[in-house]
Amino acid sequence: MNFKHIFFKLALVLVLGLFGKANAQDIKWAKDGNSYYEVSQGEIVSISLPLNERKTIVSRNLLYSSGNTGLGEIKSFEISEDGTKVLLYTNSKKVWRYETRGDYFVADLKTNQLTQVGKDKPASSLMFAKFSPDGNKVAYVSKHNLYVDDLTSKTSKALTTDGTERLINGTFDWVYEEEFDCRDGFRWSPDGQSIAYWQIDATKIKNFLMIDNTDSIYSFTIPVEYPKVGENPSSCKVGIVNIASAKTNWLEVPGDQIQNYIPRMDWIPSSNEVILQQLNREQNVSKLFVADASSGQVKNIYTETDKAWIDVAKGWDWINDGKEFIWMSESDGWRHLYRISKDGKKHTLITQGNYDVIEKSLIDEKNGQIYFIASPTNATQKYLFKTKLSGGKAEMVTPSILKGTHSYEISPNGVFARHTYQSASVPPITEWMKLTTLNPLTMEGSVTNQLGRMRPPKNKVEFFKVTTEDGIELDGWMKKPDNFDQTKKYPVVFYVYGEPASQTVTDTYGAGRNWLYAGDMPKDGYIYISVENRGAPAPKGREWRKSVFQKIGTLNIRDQAMAAKKIMEWPFVDKNRVAVWGWSGGGSSTLNLMFQYPEIYKTGIAIAAVGNQLTYDNVYQERYMGSPLKTKEAYVKGSPITYAKNLQGKLLYIHGTGDDNVHYQNAEML
């Protein structure tokens, strides 16, 4: 389901490991945009552009002098607004997927001292520590309570005291983290006098018991808070806690706190107001509320509905001195950027045309422009575009000669950028460039220079389109065997995911590679193919993406099978040797393809599949399939176990008993 596809992470790790860490994390730009910060050889340095002049900000001597103990490898850091202090994150530990708890230290550049934050708390228990706007305090979460340390008086204060294992302040429960990407659950107010935070009440969420049979002679259970399809979510509310009094004022957000989600929240800059997104349980009504932090009163400024679902916001970008914000919506059938007034009364479409905005890159308000990633003519690729903040025709920034996938990390002033280019035949290569002129900072490090030193692969991945008997045109890629002979017939292996969480057919390095195959597929004579069905998050418009609503396990499966049917007509394909494999959602798709179309697929490998959609978590499955109280028939119709009796081919099923996401019970039910 969504990560869920552990395999995408594995692929990313492989790419970064093989080709450097240039894109491993976002750049920490200086405020003026003319330099950036990074950890280098145990120090924090500033690198100014365009000459790459390096200056030490926090020295190794300060960090690791004999008087300082407990400071491990620096995982991340934050520089205070006035530049006099640096907050260091170290000794990190995992919470579910990511290392989001650890220890924090403050390096004071004026006094040349290092101080541990929350040193009276358990080791590696602090989460999401961040400076107050004036840099004199640090707030953090430990054991589901919110604290603030005063760096001047060297005192610590608890802002909440009711946190327990299941009553969660300032961070989130399992499903909010997994499905809404919610982790950091508190925000400093612009004046530094208060903090807005989430409180999640997961006390009524049932435990799913995983059984550990391997780590001791007697088996034992591992409980995981996990709301299955049809089960109520956790209760959620947002409070404003005053730093001086430690008293919380709860925002008066209308609606049932259990039957509505609040996946996004933040302060409006230079104000005492909070903005938040509320989604109803079915996630097809999105409301934006602006709340007065002092009174707790809220006002609904914007409402959007969809017959299928509405995606969670990426966040708010405020312009025009906080009078307007940039918002992404599919309301006209395409994913576009709008500017909306703070009272919600004025909406202006910025990006105009029949194409999708894939993501925002930079708002350059000074020059009245917005940069974004899109690919109007090829859904497998990504390019940088820009348009006027007032709206208008998009202008392509990326040179059209470089076909493939591009990403840009642009400086706040819009002058510099780190540009990464890759394609199915080009590993990720990075250049620093002046965005205003599109010139690389050095010719030696330019993308074109690096490309000139590469040898093109002899056996390239081929991209193709196939039109099914239903009249649906699908994108695909294919890696043919080495020394391919058009007159021979070859076995085919399809790689599938098939659900709304991710694409498989992208013009990126790694396409055409099966990283789990213990051998060399092209050398061993296999054709390797992936096809992108409807419902995948490709930039092809709302109808493409949301046609799969209440039809996961049927529509996406038919698209895959009908594409395979057409491919089997190719003269070099051995239609009697067609295989398919996938992981998580791809495992589910593999099972459904094997069971629903046994005449096509003779062999399959399904890993960590959801065999019964009623076993999966409520946020993900209800978003795409509707409430099971209303649409249980759709869940049954889309579940592989419904068709298991039809299996004819050879199936290898793989599932780990320690999977806290797609539970092993799916294997046993199957």
Q: What is the pLDDT of residues 357-366, one digit of tens each?
A: 999 999 999 9
Distance of CA 28 to the CA centre of its chain: 19
Burial of 40 (0-12, 13-18, 19+ CB in 10 A): exposed
Give me the pLDDT at residue 66, please: 67
Asked if 194 and 212 count as a contact pair (C-beta separation under 8 A), the reply is no
DSSP string, 456-496: PPSS--EEEEEE-TTS-EEEEEEEPPTT--TTS-EEEEEE-
Give me the pLDDT at residue 403, please: 97
Distance CA 223, CA 232 (A): 18
Q: Which residues contact 215 (CB under 8 A, 6 or more apart)?
A: none
Residue showing tokens 């008087």: 67
Q: Which of 345, 348, 324 is nearest to 337 (CA)?
A: 348
Q: Which residues contact 184 (CB under 8 A, 6 or more apart)?
A: 127, 128, 171
Cα-only R_g, the chain = 26
Q: Hey, what are 556's tokens?
A: 């996406």
Q: What is the pLDDT of residues 282-298, one digit of tens each?
A: 999 999 999 999 999 99
% the chain with pLDDT above 70: 96
Distance CA 296, CA 294 (A): 6
Burial of 612 (0-12, 13-18, 19+ CB in 10 A): buried
Asked if 501 and 507 count as a contact pair (C-beta separation under 8 A), the reply is no
Q: Hey, what are 75's tokens?
A: 């995982």
Distance of CA 534 to the CA centre of its chain: 20
Asked if 207 and 228 count as a contact pair (C-beta separation under 8 A), the reply is no
Backbone torsions φ then ψ of 104, nearest 5 degrees:
-130, 145
Q: What is the pLDDT of residues 222-264, one digit of tens each?
A: 999 999 999 999 999 999 999 999 999 999 999 999 999 999 9
Q: Which of 334, 354, 338 is nearest to 346 (CA)?
A: 338
Q: What is the 3-state secondary structure (H, E, C) of 192-247?
A: CCEEEEEEEECCCCCEEEEEECCCCCCCEEEEEECCECCCCCCEEEEEEEECCCCC
| pLDDT over 80 at 4, yes or no | no
Across the range 522-532, mean pLDDT stands at 98
Distance CA 552, CA 545 (A): 12
DSSP string, 543-611: HHHHTTTT-TTTHHHHHHHHHHHHHTTSTTEEEEEEEEEEETHHHHHHHHHHHH-TTT--EEEEES--S
Burial track 447-469 (b if 16+ CB lie within 10 A, e otherwise): beebeeeeeeeeeebebeebebe
Distance CA 510, CA 11 (A): 7
Strand partners, 431: 419
Q: What is the pLDDT of residues 410-438, one digit of tens each?
A: 999 999 999 999 999 999 999 999 999 99
Q: What is the pLDDT of residues 468-514, one digit of tens each?
A: 999 999 999 999 999 999 999 999 999 999 999 999 999 999 999 99
Asked if 546 and 306 count as a contact pair (C-beta separation under 8 A), the reply is yes
Backbone torsions φ then ψ of 359, nearest 5 degrees:
-165, 155
Residue showing tokens 């970064």: 16
Strand partners, 329: 336
- CA angle 497-500-504, nearest 5°? 40
CA-to-CA dists, residue 153 to 82, 89, 157, 191, 388, angstroms: 19, 22, 11, 19, 48
| pLDDT over 90 at 25, yes or no | no
3-class state of residue 305 by DSSP: strand
Q: What is the pLDDT of residues 287-345, one digit of tens each?
A: 999 999 999 999 999 999 999 999 999 989 999 999 999 999 999 999 999 999 999 99
pTM comes to 0.94
Reported as a pLDDT band with limits 50, 70 and 90, residue 64 is confident
User: What residue type is 189 in one-letter code?
Assistant: S
Reported as a pLDDT band with limits 50, 70 and 90, residue 5 is very low
DSSP string, 394-459: -EE-S-TTS-SEEEEEE-TTSSEEEEEEEETTEEEEEEEEETTTTEES-STTSHHHHHHTSPPPSS
Q: What is the pLDDT of residues 441-466, one digit of tens each?
A: 999 899 999 999 999 899 999 999 99
Instruction: Share the mean pLDDT of the chain.
Output: 94
Backbone torsions φ then ψ of 262, nearest 5 degrees:
-125, 85
Q: Which helix (H) or strand (E) holds 334?
A: none
Sheet hosting strand 260-267, strand order edge to edge = 260-267, 273-280, 285-292, 298-305
| pLDDT over 60 at 10, yes or no | no
Q: Which of 585, 589, 545 is nearest to 563 (CA)?
A: 589
Distance CA 661, CA 208 (A): 10
Across the range 170-195, mean pLDDT stands at 97
Q: Which helix (H) or strand (E) holds 142?
A: strand 137-142
The single-letter DSSP state of residue 311 is P
Across the range 641-649, mean pLDDT stands at 98
432: left (phi over 0), alpha (psi -120 to 50) or beta: beta
The single-letter DSSP state of residue 121 is S
Burial of 519 (0-12, 13-18, 19+ CB in 10 A): exposed
Q: Which of 324, 326, 302 is nearest to 314 (CA)?
A: 326
Q: Hey, what are 322's tokens?
A: 């906080």
Q: What is the pLDDT of residues 372-418, one digit of tens each?
A: 999 999 999 999 999 999 999 999 999 999 999 999 999 999 999 99
Burial of 227 (0-12, 13-18, 19+ CB in 10 A): buried
Distance CA 78, CA 440 (A): 28
Across the range 511-533, mean pLDDT stands at 96
Q: What is the pLDDT of residues 543-562, one digit of tens each?
A: 999 999 999 999 999 999 99
Q: Hey, what are 658's tokens?
A: 């320690």
Sheet hosting strand 28-29, strand order edge to edge = 28-29, 35-40, 43-48, 53-58
Q: Hey, what are 557's tokens?
A: 């499966």
